[in-house]
Chains A and B, each alone.
Chain A
């Protein structure tokens, strides 16, 4: 199958390229970058030297393929949707443009009108674990936000099973790696300023909270803190479970919902160095590791991912695999490194 990546100069696009070059059923046809057109892709993604000799193309040069991955900044995918849809039957968009089903909710969180509200029902939200069956017949997939993915995957079984007590609010805090901010430098990302920071960059009002509410059916009071880490997210969520719910019930619920999921692991060990989910071990992998601990009726859920993988490119390839009928793990077998 032929695929192209639009907006391949960013971190998300680079990860897509890394994964798709190794994918057993995919041939990467073109990679675009308006700023870098004509330059070798390895100029921006040096880890791919000897993996590809491709040069960046322009969007205007896109040729017909089976699937286009779009990794452009927010609002660009909906502005150019028709340009892409005439060149590929299937589209996987990594931006936020098609994540929210309600155009009014989109406007509230993104401060601009949605340009293609009639297309929103055609996009399936990108968490395979929640939307596998819809993806099998879909043509368009909207990649889920990275913080949203970590939070949703940790909490979803508890709401789906009815164990969570919805009378109490859910609070979640994410520790995030700097690559979430993309590959453009700013004063805030300047090394002397950024290095060593534990920066509360969105204590309230994070846009991914809209996705969490949409997918979980309940609001999540979410805060994000940027820490000294390049890749990775660790979400610590606090919620209350109904009276009488025991630790075994939580185990059984996660086992029932995620037992057959290839990219979800429940991590809760009493011995060893890594007893709970640890983002460092997930670098480059498509896993979401989930752990939990109970304190009476309070349940603390920890979930970790690589923001560029399970939170972006890996999730997108997983979704493509489901949409196209490939084995779900194709191109995503990397187990991570230890030590790292």
Chain B
């Protein structure tokens, strides 16, 4: 069971998922990088500043 580091949602990684693959959290939609059998980390995303 993996846990989304952003929202805490617990889920099973899809079968045949490979390390380094990018998946989306089913709850909050965050893009997650698979780092192990049951572990993920937030995937780096391109930032936009929206005029800031």
Using CB atoms and an 8 Å cutoff, list the residues of chain A in contact with chain B: 247-249, 251-252, 255, 266, 268-271
Contact = CB atoms under 8 A, between A and B. Distances in A.
Given A251-B6, A252-B7, A252-B8, A266 B28 contact: yes
Given A270-B45, A271-B45, A251 B30 contact: no
15 contacts: A247-B7, A248-B6, A248-B7, A248-B8, A249-B8, A251-B7, A251-B9, A251-B27, A251-B28, A252-B8, A255-B27, A266-B27, A269-B29, A270-B30, A271-B45
Interface residues of B, number: 11
Contacts of A269: 28-30
| 7 A-B pairs with the lowest CB-CB distances in the bound complex, closest first | A251-B7, A248-B8, A252-B8, A269-B29, A270-B45, A251-B8, A271-B45
Nearest to B25: A251
A274 to B, nearest CB: 12
A270 B28 CA distance: 10
A93 to B, nearest CB: 37
A251 B46 CA distance: 23
Contacts of B30: 269-270
Interface in B14-52: 27-31, 45-46
B46 to A, nearest CB: 8
A255 B6 contact: no
B45 A255 contact: no
Contacts of A251: 6-9, 27-28
A95 B29 CA distance: 38
Contacts of B27: 251, 255, 266
Contacts of B7: 247-248, 251-252, 255
Contacts, number: 29
Contacts of A270: 30-31, 45
Nearest to A254: B7
A251 B28 CA distance: 8
A268 B28 contact: yes
Nearest to B48: A271
A255 B9 contact: yes
Contact of A271 (B6, B9, B28, B31): B31
A270 B9 CA distance: 17
Contacts of A268: 28
A297 B5 CA distance: 19
Nearest to B50: A275
Contacts of B8: 248-249, 251-252
A247 B8 CA distance: 9
Contacts of A266: 27-28
A309 B10 CA distance: 33
Nearest to B43: A270
A62 to B, nearest CB: 47
B41 to A, nearest CB: 14
Nearest to A272: B29
Contacts of A249: 8
B8, B9, B45 interface centre (most CB from chain A within 10 Å): B8
Given A255-B27, A266-B28, 17 more contacts: A247-B6, A247-B7, A249-B8, A251-B6, A251-B7, A251-B8, A251-B27, A252-B8, A255-B7, A255-B9, A266-B27, A268-B28, A269-B28, A269-B29, A270-B30, A270-B45, A271-B46
A255 B7 CA distance: 9
A251 B30 CA distance: 12
